[in-house]
Amino acid sequence: MIRSTTLALFLATAALTAPALAQGADEMASAEEKAKVDEALAKVGCKAEEVEKESATLFEVDDAACDIGQYDIKLNGGYKITVMTLDE
């Protein structure tokens, strides 16, 4: 009886937490999206190795290499920089 209850509790917990874990994982931008982000970053002297797509209207670049230092950068769905933070 205790084993059945423990197993049921474990399965219920796993079923509830799996979607939350999947939502927390950022997906990478497509090649087309990355090209547009790269174009926007080049205008301010920056380059990105990877571009994360946090949502349909938000892109994030961690550790962008810029002429003036290393930055974390966020861009909106129109590929405009909305946040640029010095990454020390």
**Block mean pLDDT (10 aa), the chain, length 88:** 51 49 73 98 98 98 98 98 96
Task: State the pLDDT at residue 76.
Answer: 99
For the whole prediction, is pTM greater than 0.75? no
Reduce the DSSP state of residue 26 to 3 states and report it. coil
Task: State the pLDDT at residue 47.
Answer: 98
Task: State the pLDDT at residue 26.
Answer: 77
What are the angstrom distances between the C-alpha of 84 and each of 9, 14, 21, 31, 40? 44, 37, 27, 22, 12
- Nearest partner of 86 among 74, 62, 70, 75, judged by Cα: 70
**Amino acid letter, residue 59:** F
Q: Where are the alpha helices (DSSP H) in the chain?
A: 2-24, 31-42
Reduce the DSSP state of residue 46 to 3 states and report it. strand
